[in-house]
Structure 1
Amino acid sequence: MTAANTSRGRSGSVQSIERAFGLLETMADHGGMMGLSQLATESGLPLPTIHRLVRTLVDLGYLHQEPSRQYVLGPKLIKLGESSARMLSSQARPHLTRLVDELGESANMAMLDGDRIVYVAQVPSRHSMRMFTEVGRRVLPHCTAVGKAILAGMPPDKVRDLLQRTGMPGYTDHTITDPAEFARQLEHAARTGYAMDEGEQELGVRCVAVALPEAPARLAISISGPVGRMTEDLVDRAVPLLTTVGRALSDDLR
């Protein structure tokens, strides 16, 4: 649905605000940098309307114009993002704690921010040997279970555009660097409802993730641990629990 259609579809809404936030979300979905004509095409709004909204967002510091005349997301958004991330972490923690209590391994929540996956919450395993991902860490989505789970729910053309912008660098011998094989994995994730990372970001680490349904952002939760403990039996137990916890967390965030 375009920004124009969305703004007409809600009674009592302020159209200009909906359109402005719609443009920011569109830019985030396209890597954080776009030109006016591309914004008009993607949003379905007239170019004069786009120009007026963009000029206002630049004046407010939420967008910045590059020498190339393209627009990028501005530094004013950092403050909003940091506050939002703290809120997400607080709401996610009880749900992630349930995963750790029942499965024994570290639990994470991550979101797609532009072209990167950023980890926004974690509850570590109680094992002395455990996987630790720093909250705030940013990684490419193609080598993570959370990234695959999120991308599996996106239109294939959007995924292709993202991968063209980021590339698919190999971090281990198991990282998928072939777009066709990656597309097959996303199809499997979409069909089964979960995605795996088989040592693709870090050797010896296995991870299983599910995307949050109907969440206000592109979010996923996961558990991760050493290959020796992340057995097939554990994964089989983890998937339905991750799905149940994901629905509950999604409901809390709406």
Structure 2
Amino acid sequence: MSGVQSVDRTLDVLEALAERGGEAGLSEIAARTGLPYGTIHRLLRTLLARGYVRQESDRRYALGGALVRLGEVAERMVGTWAQPYLAKMVELSGETANLAVLEGDFIVYVAQVPSPRRLRMFAEVGRRVLPHSTAVGKVLMAGRPDAEVASLVERTGMPRRTANTITDLPGMLAELERVRDRGYAMDLGEEELGVHCLAVGVHDGSRMVAAMSVSGPAERIDALDRDDLAEGMRKIADDFGAELGPSPAGPARTPQVTP
């Protein structure tokens, strides 16, 4: 096994755990990665020793605490790199722009550029919310198979945040299909009454890694042309994703932070 191949396979194992909500059995990891059981065992032994994976009492494997420090630093860095792109979204829409990721079963807001308007929306950086009632959450769920979405909402539930919140799985799956068809998601007062949001995905070349949104008072968001706004936001998100993704030679590029 070459050094590069072993790193690839180790990352495959970690990503398989993440895609299963942070915890999976050996057979689930094998199904996701296509790796032999013996190879997975060897990789897991190293990850267990370093604290990047832990083994539960039922012998399932889970992401370990050593990843927390890496994740916190990475989120701060990505949030910094996102600032000029979020600023462009503010210029485009006139509203507050946000960057969010799916961390385990929760949406976490990792960066924000506020609207210059006196009446504006804020989503506190570091805030964690369930994905079903937010535009960023819908975009990120739409990037996953329906079976994974079903498993996620089974774990978290779909509590009603407002009278507009979708609280049943069939309704959410239908909504996610609409998100996939049009290429953006809406939160129409589903997390907070009177606040509307539009979100698009950020792709690093192979997968969706984050979501960007603009949010504001319902009447101002509704006055915008959604399709035109989404098209402009996707171009900005694609530029940001290209900076996050690997270069043609393989290693990740250092994102450029100048707008």
- Which amino acid is the alignment partner of residue 106 of structure 1? T
- Which amino acid is the alignment partner of residue 205 of structure 1? V
Structure 1: which 5+ runs fail to align? Answer: 1-6
| Greater mean deviation of Cα atoms: 90-99 or 212-221 | 212-221
Matches within 5 A, 1:21-32: 21-32=11-22
1:253 aligned partner: 244
Pick from 204, 210, 224: which aligns with 1:219?
210
| 1:233 matches 2:227 | no
Q: Deviations over 1:121-163 (max 9, x none)?
A: 1101112221111112121111110111122222222222222
| 1:114 matches 2:104 | yes
TM-score by length of 1: 0.90
Q: Deviations over 1:148-183 (max 9, x none)?
A: 112222222222222222221111111101211111
Count of residue pairs the alignment pairs up: 244
Structure 2: which 5+ runs fail to align? Answer: 246-259
1:103 aligned partner: 93
- Which amino acid is the alignment partner of residue 216 of structure 2? G
RMSD: 1.8
The 2-side partners of 1:124 and 1:233 are apart by: 18
Residue pair 2:201, 2:208 contacting (<8 A) in 1 also: no
The 2-side partners of 1:218 and 1:160 are apart by: 19
Q: Deviations over 1:202-221 (max 9, x none)?
A: 11110000112345652111
The 1-side partners of 2:193 and 2:63 are apart by: 34
User: Equivalent pairs: percent with the same residue?
Assistant: 47
Pick from 77, 80, 84: which aligns with 1:90?
80
Residue pair 1:103, 1:234 contacting (<8 A) in 2 also: no
Q: Deviations over 1:183-239 (max 9, x none)?
A: 111111111111000111111110000112345652111000111221242534421
**Deviation for aligned residue 1:13:** 6.2
Pick from 182, 202, 210: which aligns with 2:172?
182
1:75 aligned partner: 65
Residue pair 1:107, 1:221 contacting (<8 A) in 2 also: yes
TM-score by length of 2: 0.88
Pick from 53, 58, 62: which aligns with 2:43?
53
- Which amino acid is the alignment partner of residue 210 of structure 2? L
The 2-side partners of 1:13 and 1:234 are apart by: 50
Residue pair 1:30, 1:115 contacting (<8 A) in 2 also: no
The 1-side partners of 2:235 and 2:208 are apart by: 18
- Which amino acid is the alignment partner of residue 204 of structure 1? G
- Which amino acid is the alignment partner of residue 82 of structure 1? E
1:4 aligned partner: none
